[in-house]
Amino acid sequence: MRIGLTGGIASGKSTVARLLVELGAYLVDADEVAREVVLPGEPALAAVASRFGQAVLREDGSLDRKKLGGIVFQDRAALQELEAILHPAIRQEMQKRMRAEDEQHPNGLVVADVPLLYETKQEKLYEGILVSYVPAYMQAERLMQREAMGHEEAERRVALQMDIEEKRKHADWVIDNSGSLEETRSQVLAFWKSQGLP
């Protein structure tokens, strides 16, 4: 079975993914794939540099993510242009990896951690969607802590995404990650068992 794991920024996707992997799930991580498609030599990196300028590249030709982030997180249209370059490349590689995991582990659970699953309308690629949920104010709080970022910046990054309440409504399963890690762990285990997994 292939499921999509999503939520909002800092809503606990990586945490839930790690707990699922501990139980035996096979993880395909869209953030990891997203980093790999912009490695030097990849066509997506050339497209990004041609749109946003050579200034987003470091001297060694690698992507300066901070510089690019500084541009696109100030400008919604620029962010959309960046996404139009990256998302097809990421999606294709994700599909390839999921197929490979599925073939190797036909009775296993293949989990794709896809932060922008709903925003990029990928629901149909999965047999079900699991949302890791915390309320929006808590996303901003945990983001501030994790990135040592100011309150305003954290709130703006949360607001750039689809409202997490909306994602929760469309989910097939929800893990409420607003409590302790142990509470999250027991919900993940309950989900695992509900799917008849060993």
**Burial class of 115 by CB neighbour count within 10 A (0 to 12, 13 to 18, 19+):** buried
Tokens found for residue 4: 């999509």
Among 2, 5, 7, 133, binds ligand ADP (CB under 6 A): 7
CB of 104 or CB of 186, closer to ligand ADP: 186
Quote the least distance from Cβ 187 to ligand ADP, whole Å: 10
Quote the least distance from Cβ 80 to ligand ADP, whole Å: 21
Main-chain phi, psi angles of 17, to 5 degrees: -60, -45
CB of 57 or CB of 129, closer to ligand ADP: 129
* β partners of residue 6: 131
Task: Report how far apart, in Å, the C-alpha atoms of 96 and of each of 7, 66, 178 are.
Answer: 23, 28, 33
Among 2, 13, 87, 167, binds ligand ADP (CB under 6 A): 13
Q: Are 112 and 90 in contact (CB under 8 A)?
A: no
Per-residue x/- track, 114-153, ligand ADP (CB under 6 A): ----------------------------x---x-------
DSSP secondary structure letter of residue 128: E
Residue 184 found at the interface with ligand ADP (CB under 6 A): yes
CB of 87 or CB of 142, closer to ligand ADP: 142
CB of 15 or CB of 52, closer to ligand ADP: 15
CB of 4 or CB of 12, closer to ligand ADP: 12
What's the residue count for the chain?
198
Quote the least distance from Cβ 9 to ligand ADP, whole Å: 5
Sheet hosting strand 2-7, strand order edge to edge? 26-29, 110-113, 2-7, 128-133, 173-176
Q: Which residues bind ligand ADP (CB under 6 A)?
A: 7, 9-15, 142, 146, 177, 180-181, 184
